Amino acid sequence: MGTLQGKVAIVTGSARGIGRATALAYAREGARVVINSRTDEEVKRTVREVTDAGGEAAGIPADVSQPQGVDRLVDETVARWGRVDILVNNAAVMGPLAPVGWDDRDEWRFTLEVNLFGCYLMLHRVVPIMVRQRKGKVINVSSPNALRQDSWLTAYGVAKAALVRLTSSVATFTAPYGVDVNVVDVIGYTDLAKDIGKQQDQDFLVAEYWRRRSQRGIVLDPATNVPMMLWLASPESDGLTGRFVRWSMNLDDLKAAKDRIVASPSALRLGLQVPEGIRESEEARWYLSESAKVLAEIEADLAHRPRYPGV
């Protein structure tokens, strides 16, 4: 019996990358998983991976930035399995790298539609189901970019920062009904991340940072996030809600601190600071240290170049 035996999980954007790694892990733990993407062939491929490994999955292609796509995704899930126990809002696009004024306005808007409004639409449909069930787990996928204090990936970062606020608001409503809503930043060398290294024409500094890191092996596999995603979806994390959980947290420390965090008077105040007693994981310390070295090197090499193209 897996930790998610009999649960029904929708993982948006799960045909590849972090969503795929999460969906495969949930299936291994006994969940019935809905694989979602805008691309039908990618959905079918990931469903085959699940079923070939003995798991149970349904593929539902849909664009979560569109209400009709969300309605189909949720309606087909409920028609098939009768409930939704876990929702992972993972679908995302990277958006423009270029600075404001040099970027594409339509691409900017689309980034918010997918990364933020798509999450809202899924919450709008799934939260009432979970509230009526008096049980549910929502994991909104954010990014370290939500807290960055620089110009990188502006549209993407704005959407992810707003998702943090959306999480805290929804959690205050759903807590009395046994529905836990958390947001987790994630890490991984995904297809989206690889594309950044090819966009020298939009922001040479950011593109070069990703390119050098990948060349030197300073990257982490999307599966790095699986232990945290499993724990947040499992009964072990019951009662932890309205929290911003970071990929870099030592999971054993977080598990040990859970009851203390839940019992705190500020349990529903979204804590952007790491709770006391929770260290960074060993993997995170290596990754962050090496990444900082690359960034310092690039800034020294390229600081003389203007960030605004042609100016």
Q: What is the pLDDT of residues 148-173, one digit of tens each?
A: 766 678 899 999 999 999 999 999 99
Is residue 211, in this structure, part of any structural domain at all?
no
Q: Is the pLDDT of residue 90 over 60?
A: yes
Is residue 208, in this structure, part of any structural domain at all?
no
Is residue 212, in this structure, part of any structural domain at all?
no
Query: Which of 105-109, 164-168, 283-287, 297-301 bottoms out in mean pLDDT, i.e. has the lowest?
Result: 297-301
As a whole number of angstroms, the longest Cα–Cα distance in the chain is: 61
Specify whether the CB–CB gap between 2 and 33 falls below 8 A.
Answer: no
Residue owning tokens 């958006």: 95
CA dihedral 236, 49, 63, 135 (to 10 degrees): -20
* Length of the chain counted residue by residue: 311
pTM: 0.93
Domain count, the chain: 1
Mean pLDDT across 129-150: 91
Q: Is the pLDDT of residue 242 over 80?
A: yes
Mean pLDDT across 100-111: 92
Residue range of the domain that includes 228? 8-190+222-285
For 43-71, write each residue's pLDDT tens digit. 999 999 999 999 999 999 999 999 999 99
Is residue 143, in this structure, part of any structural domain at all?
yes
CA distances from 42 to 14, 15, 19, 46, 181 (A): 9, 5, 12, 6, 28
pLDDT: which is higher, 302 or 96: 96
Q: Residue 152's pLDDT is what? A: 74
pLDDT: which is higher, 263 or 274: 263
Catalytic residue among 156, 189, 209, 287: 156
Question: Which runs of consecutive H residues, i.e. helices, occur in the chain?
Answer: 17-28, 40-52, 67-81, 105-112, 118-133, 154-174, 191-196, 204-215, 226-233, 251-263, 282-302
Q: Is the pLDDT of residue 267 over 80?
A: no
Mean pLDDT across 99-104: 88
Is residue 52, in this structure, part of any structural domain at all?
yes
Is residue 183, in this structure, part of any structural domain at all?
yes
What own/partner pairs with CB < 8 Å and gap ≥ 24 does 291-298 have? 291/213, 291/218, 294/209, 294/212, 294/213, 294/216, 294/218, 295/209, 297/212, 298/205, 298/208, 298/209, 298/212
Helix, strand or coil, per DSSP, at residue 233: helix
Q: Is the pLDDT of residue 186 over 60?
A: yes
Is residue 155, in this structure, part of any structural domain at all?
yes
Q: Residue 269's pLDDT is what? A: 57
Q: How many CB atoms lie within 10 A of CB 112?
A: 18
Determine whether 156 is an active site residue: yes
Is residue 46, in this structure, part of any structural domain at all?
yes
Residue 278's CATH number? 3.40.50.720
